[in-house]
Amino acid sequence: MKGSIVVLGQLAGRKLAARIVDGRLDDLLIDPKESAPPSPGTIFRAICDRPLKGQGGMMLRLPDGSGFLRAATGLRPGQPLLVQVTGFAEAGKAVPVTTRVLFKSRYCIVTPDAPGINVSRGIRDEENRVRLLEIASEVLGDATEPGLILRSAAADASDEEIADDIVSMRDLAIAVLGDADGTEPERLVDGPDAQMLAWREWTTPDMVVDGPTALDDYAVPELIETMVTPRIALTGGGHAWIEPTRAFIAVDVNTGGDTSPAASLKANISLARDLPRQLRCRGLGGQIVVDFAPLPKKDRRQLESVLRAAFKSDSVETALVGWTQMGNFEMQRKRERLPLDI
């Protein structure tokens, strides 16, 4: 089964979107349970509660809990504030938010804090860039606020599709910005569900399938099972373990029965290439510590190059921090998803 297929359905009563590439599960999105914290992208009118002087932040009142805003200067308790959720909150912690609110869709992003019209750098064809700027200018007229970014997916869309997307997002932004003032916290915009997020971000599949039997037709439950077990097989006979702890995600690489001189390097490179996919599909983020199979320091640079290449195209922001004194590799990954719990 070659090519990319997006499969839409429901599992355990929750919307699900699975992207399968060449028969292998490449990405997985599933709606959180009702008791989960607000999802990234949710927009609130929050009320400033109390500053955290030691951390330079501000605790905020949200409709159903608390939010935390970093680098909060010039704010006073009781002040209303328009904020957007940036990631899932850890258990018992406040929801992380930002005041840099974005209205993101398939073809465009409306940016209230950044006026003007911009085109994604991923669109290199000059004629296409001019076409997109002309569409945006025709829709927006002389207005420079709120700002607009035309995304890479717009390069292959029709003029009508792009114009409709711009109008929809601009109208939503204007409505929300006009509702920013108030004395009580309020949820103004829900974050996208799994299938909406898939439509927005997975823009070039070879096929999209839906229907009551779609998940079973493409063995999605079985593919998900491979992401529930902590053990993963690596090419060349090695294996690795991915185990979440309360403090961090622990990854352990083993060479298995391979006793050749290059066994460690082969196992480590195999894990490095597959790690972004494993973390995406498992919904894992936060601090990640990788205990690679033993290898000489001279081979670290090669392994780092493989890691950088693997994470370069990953959709979730990940910072490759580097090696510890004990020879482990650390990285920090944005908590855009909740751990897989089906």
Ordered alpha helix ranges (H), 94-158: 126-140
Tell me which of 28-32, 51-55, 148-152, 195-199 is least confident.
Answer: 51-55
Please give the Cα distance from 126 to 129 (Å, whole number). Answer: 5
Burial 98-134 (b: 16+ CB within 10 A, else e): ebebbbbbbbbbbbbeeeebebbeebeeeeebebbee
Flag whether pLDDT at 144 surpasses 80: no
pLDDT at 71 over 90: no
Q: What is the pLDDT of residues 247-302, one digit of tens each?
A: 999 999 999 887 788 899 999 999 999 999 999 999 999 999 999 999 999 999 99
- Collapse the DSSP code of 66 into the 3-class scheme (helix H, G, I; strand E, B; otherwise coil) and give the result: strand
Q: Which of 156, 56, 173, 49 is nearest to 104 (CA)?
A: 173
Domain ranges of the chain: 4-31+198-217, 43-101, 103-179, 229-333
> Does this chain's domain 43-101 share its CATH topology with 229-333?
no
CATH class of 43-101: mainly beta
Query: In CATH, what class is 229-333?
Result: alpha beta
Share of the chain above pLDDT 70, in %: 99
- Residue 19's pLDDT is 98
